[in-house]
A and B are shown apart, each in its own frame.
Chain A
Amino acid sequence: MKDEQELIHRILRGEREAFAMIVQKYQTPLLNYVGRMVTDRDTALDLLQEIFLKIYTSLYQYNSTYPFRTWIFKIAYNHVIDFWRKRRIETQPLEDDQSGISLLNILPLQEESITKKYELQQWRNKIERALEKLSAPWRELFIWRYLNELSYEEIAEIKNLPLGTVKNRIFQAKEKLRLLLEEEQ
């Protein structure tokens, strides 16, 4: 954290090359987020380049009291939203998407049939496919929490939502993914 602040100061003093270290540190987590949101690797890499340029040109606006990782993810999140808007890709508002919630009630009845099938290697591909089917707002929350390992607090900050809402939505995202996995069977 302290090193990162020092790095930012160096960049702001005009040492452009120091930005390479920021790129190296965040390229993989951001690619995992952006890549899984747009699902196409080439598009994701183009978007990622744009995101890093945006981070660089906005760095002077960064407030050092704010966690840098959260700030970076917030920029990436806004960029992905802009990308969807430009491509006119519609995302369902979370409040209206209640389809999975009523189904949650029947989930415990299906537990036994699923349990034996959790073989990690086999499940990876299935999870990736299910993840692609998960609608974007849920997928985003799921990726941040389980792939980028962001805390609930960080996600609440990025999405500008209360902590309780974020926790509840991430729970719903997991259960929706589970339902999609069942459909894969």
Chain B
Amino acid sequence: MNCLSPEKIYLYLEKDLSPEEEMAVRHHLRSCQRCRQLLADRAQFLKAIKNLPSWQPPPDFTDRVMEKIINQGVGFKEIIFTVLGLVTFISLSLVCLIYLAGINLLQTFSHFYQSLMASTETFLVFLAKMAKIIILLLKITFSLGEQVFKVLSSFLFLGRIEYIGLLVGCLLPLLILGLYVFRRKMFSGALL
């Protein structure tokens, strides 16, 4: 057997050799002074490195970390993303709902708006105007959606149910993503 490589010496010292290889190394060591020297040297080196002093954190380190965790504030980015996520989700859900319920839902909204207008004062008028804007936006989205569906229908001969399926299929990943982000924010304490 040739002289042992430093790598083999380490493997032997760290008991990382197969029983056969270990036997061969032992056999060689009996007859080779140079390798015995190498072995003693590496053994000392390993012993020295395993006894390196450990760095210790300050005694109040855990408290400091826990304080930061418990007092975790709400980040600006988190608020923006959460609000945007929720607004997108609610808007898309409403569009979907209007599409499913048809024009009757829009009429219900309009009646609600009219009765609100009739029975409220300045503050509620403002709210009602906001509601009108939202309804207008929804109407635009709805009619745009209808136009897109019509165009698509002329190409693909799909019925209303298939389109609803397509719409839900598109919304589902968004919903999952929204819930995923929401869960993360909830857990990290950003929303609590």
Q: Which A residues contact B (CB, under 8 angstroms)?
A: 12, 16-17, 19-20, 23-24, 27-28, 31-32, 35-36, 41, 44-45, 48-49, 52-53, 56-57, 59-60, 104, 107-108, 111-112, 114-115, 118, 120, 123-124, 127-128, 131, 142, 146-147, 167-168, 171, 174-175, 177-178, 181
Contact = CB atoms under 8 A, between A and B. Distances in A.
Given A111-B34, A124-B52, A146-B50, 10 more contacts: A27-B57, A49-B65, A49-B68, A57-B187, A108-B3, A118-B47, A128-B52, A147-B52, A178-B45, A181-B45
Interface in B38-95: 38, 40-41, 44-45, 47-58, 61-62, 64-66, 68-70, 72
15 contacts: A27-B61, A28-B54, A45-B61, A53-B65, A53-B68, A107-B6, A115-B41, A118-B41, A123-B48, A124-B48, A147-B52, A167-B16, A171-B10, A174-B10, A181-B45
B7 interface: yes
B93 to A, nearest CB: 25
Contact of B6 (A31, A108, A127): A108
Contact of B66 (A19, A59, A108, A174): A19
Given A53-B69, A107-B6, A175-B6, A36 B55 contact: yes
Contacts, number: 108
Task: Name the prevailing secondary structure of the A interface residues.
Answer: helix
Interface in B79-123: none
Contacts of A120: 47-48, 51
Q: Which of B7, B41, B57, B68 has the most CB of A within 10 A?
A: B57
Contacts of B44: 115, 118
A92 B45 CA distance: 26
A26 B7 CA distance: 31
Contacts of B54: 28, 32, 147
Contacts of A52: 65, 69
B41 A20 contact: no
Contact of A49 (B34, B64, B187): B64
Instruction: Report, as a range, how many residues of chain B touch the other chain.
Output: 35 or more
B52 A48 contact: no
Nearest to A126: B48
Nearest to B50: A146
Nearest to A33: B55
Nearest to A181: B45
Which of A48, A104, A114, A118 has the most chain B CB atoms closer than 10 A to its own CB?
A118
Contact of A60 (B53, B72, B187): B187
B62 A27 contact: yes
B61 A16 contact: no
B10 A60 contact: no
B188 interface: yes
A12 B64 CA distance: 21
B145 interface: no
Contacts of A56: 69, 188
Nearest to B3: A108
Contacts of A171: 6-7, 10
A56 B70 CA distance: 11
Contacts of B183: 60
B47 A108 contact: no
